[in-house]
Each structure stands twice: as C-alpha cells, then as structure tokens.
Amino acid sequence: MSISHLFIIDPLESLNVALDSSLRMMHELAKLGHQVFCCTVNQLSWSSTQASGDAHCGQIKFKNGPTNYSLQHQVLRSLKSFSGIHMRKDPPFDMDYVTATWLLDSATGTARIYNAPHALRQFNEKLTILKFPRDCHQSLVSSDPEALYRFAHDQASGDAVLKPLTLFGGRGVERIQFNDGDEPVRRLLKEATADGTTPRLIQPFDPAVFIGEVRAFSAFGEPIAWCLKRPAPGNFLANTRAGATLEHYKPSHVEVERVTRIARTLLKDGVAFIGFDLIGGHVSEINLTSPRLLQSPDDHANHYEQIAALISTDLSRRH
C-alpha cells in the first residue's frame, strides 16, 4: 500500500519559498516514493454521513528541487485515508485554527498527525515555557495593566518585552522602557491589553538578543539543526521578516540539554516537531504550530532528508 501525506498549509502562493520548511519536507517525502497532497484549513470538512473529516486537496509533484512544483487537480479524500497528516498552518491561533484541529481529531488513531491536534490546543507557543520555569526567563501572563506595570518596573528593572499570545514572527512584540516616561508605559500597557481584557506575556528584556536569537529545530525528541538569527542593526526583533540574518551556530552543552529534555517531554504528548527560540541560553518560545527549520548559508546538510527518514520510520512502527 502506498504511503500518502496531507500537508495543511497556508496558500501555496503565500509561502516564502526561500525559507519554507513544509515544501522541503514534502519534497523529501516525495523522493522516498510517498504521495504528497496539500490543502488549506478552509478545505477541510466533515459530513454527518462520514465517520471522519475530508480534505479537498491536490497532489504536489516536484521537478528539480523543492521550489519547482505543480499542484494537480483537486480531489476529495477522507482524512483517514492518509498515512500521515501534517498540520502546518501559520498562526494566528484563532478559532478557525482550533476548528481545524477538531476536524483532524476525527482521523486520530488511523492517520498519524504531526503535531497531534490535542497538543496544538494544549500547548500555546508563548505559554508553554511556563511549564519549564528553570529553562526560561522570569515571566508573567496577565490582562491587568497594573500587574504588568509592576513586573516591568520591579522584575525587569524598567526594561521589558511584551508579547501577544496567538501571533508569530515577532508580530505585536513591543519593548517597554521606563526611560520613555511613566505615563507612556501605562498607556501602552492599557492599549496592549485592550483596557485590561486581553492577556499579554511580559518578560525582562535580554540584551543578548542583539548578539542573536538561537533557533533549534527538534524532530521526535532530538535537536537536529541549530542556527543564529542576528537582528538587523538597531532592531531587537530577531525574525527574518524583520531583516535578521542567519548565521552558523554551535550550541552550548546547556542549550543542547535544555532543548533535548523539553523536546522529549513534549514528544510524550504528541509533539513531534518543535522550533525552539533561545536568547542568552534561555528558552523564549516553543513553536509547534508550523515550526520552521532555519539554516545558515554555510550549513549544507540536508536536514529535511533526515526528517523524512524519521517520519517514514515512525509510520512503519504504526503498521
């Protein structure tokens, strides 16, 4: 029986083909002889006449590499007909995203789903670090502007970073500095929390981010790739969309231990793929909705070939 995969992604035309991990994973799986299909979340459905959901999807055919592909005609397939399903839509993590995980639940037990739908609901990318307090900076999640103000003043010594909980790629992240004055800080916190109704994560600002933020990518509980994201001059956001450059990085023993331990812990809950962000050796985010493997220009290893082999092995253990 042929092995087939469904990748649930953002529209193909919107992908950053230079850095996209989904296309490269698809390409390597196709090289193994697996069939690869893709769809978007709004192409998922579930009829009461069926035991599981369906996907209106098209097969991807590759020619000469992961960025040269064609999408075949659309077909309607049961989610249970796939060997593996890869939920790789980018945030925002909203109710449309949650609904997609409910539909994917209908195929659990038949198809192998990466990452598990229940895990995507359970582990928020910003909040999961709180489950590992010795591996992250001191943090607070609150909707109360006054509580956030006190944290920034007392725990962060007047220099903090404020993050929304459901976005990605540095969107909505703000630095709070008391040298801007007391009232601007209070006004910013009031606006960011929508007058005390929307929670935000606050942490001390770590100047080590100017040296760079480390991206570690783990697969099935083991780190397989490391990269340094160096912010553009004058910017504290170490995201490629904000102009960060990618450089070679050799992790410390502490970083390897932290990433490995957390990855193995989350693997027990169905989280096979994780993109870790670390600043100054501490974990700042645990990305698992659509984690991206980043490589510096001088890293010529085919990490995706390794990922495809790990997926193939994982599927073979289930059949």
pLDDT digits (tens, 9 = 90+) for 34-62: 999 999 999 999 999 999 999 999 999 99
pLDDT tens per residue, range 298-316: 999 999 999 999 999 999 9
Position 139 scores a pLDDT of 97
DSSP-based three-state secondary structure for 282: strand
User: Can you give the pLDDT at residue 172?
Assistant: 87
* Helix H or strand E encompassing 148: helix 145-150
Q: What is the spatial distance between Cα 212 and Cα 27, in angstroms, rounded to a whole number?
A: 30
- At 178, is the pLDDT very low, low, confident or very high (cuts 50, 70, 90)? very high
Mean of pLDDT values over 146-169? 94
Q: What tokens does 10 get?
A: 């953002």
The mean pLDDT of 1-16, rounded to a whole number, is 94
The token pair that represents 250 in the structure block: 């050799």
User: Would the pLDDT of 170 be above 90?
Assistant: no
Which residues of 52-188 form beta strands (DSSP E)?
Answer: 54-62, 69-78, 84-87, 112-114, 140-142, 159-163, 174-177
Percent of the chain predicted with pLDDT > 90: 91
Residue 114 has pLDDT above 90, yes or no: yes
* CATH class of the domain comprising 138-205: alpha beta
Question: End-to-end CA distance of the chain, in Å?
Answer: 11
Assign a CATH topology to domain 4-116: Rossmann fold (3.40.50)
Strand order in the sheet with 174-177: 140-142, 200-204, 159-163, 174-177
Total-model pTM:
0.94
> Which option is the CATH number for 208-301: 3.10.105.10, 3.30.470.20, 3.30.1330.200, 3.40.50.1980?
3.30.470.20
For position 180, what pLDDT does the model report? 66
pLDDT tens digits, 211-270:
999 999 999 999 999 999 999 998 998 988 889 999 999 999 999 999 999 999 999 999
Report helix angle 21-31 to 303-317, nearest 10: 60
Average pLDDT over residues 116-139: 96
Torsion from C-alpha of 95, 88, 119, 53, nearest 10 degrees: 70
- Whether residue 1 is predicted with pLDDT greater than 70 in this model: the reply is no
Three-state DSSP class for 8?
Answer: strand
Distance CA 141, CA 202 (A): 6
- Closest-CA residue to 291 (of 232, 227, 221, 215): 215
Domain ranges of the chain: 4-116, 138-205, 208-301
- CA distances in angstroms from 153 to 113, 146, 206, 280, listed in the order given: 43, 10, 15, 21
Mean pLDDT of all residues belonging to the chain: 95
Dist. CA 289–CA 262, nearest whole Å: 16
| Residue 319's pLDDT band (cuts 50, 70, 90) | low
Structure confidence by residue, pLDDT tens digits, 192-203: 999 999 999 999
pLDDT at 143 over 80: yes
Average pLDDT over residues 83-91: 97
pLDDT at 27 (0 to 100): 98
Q: For residue 169, is pLDDT > 80?
A: no
Look up residue 299 and give its two tokens.
């890293």
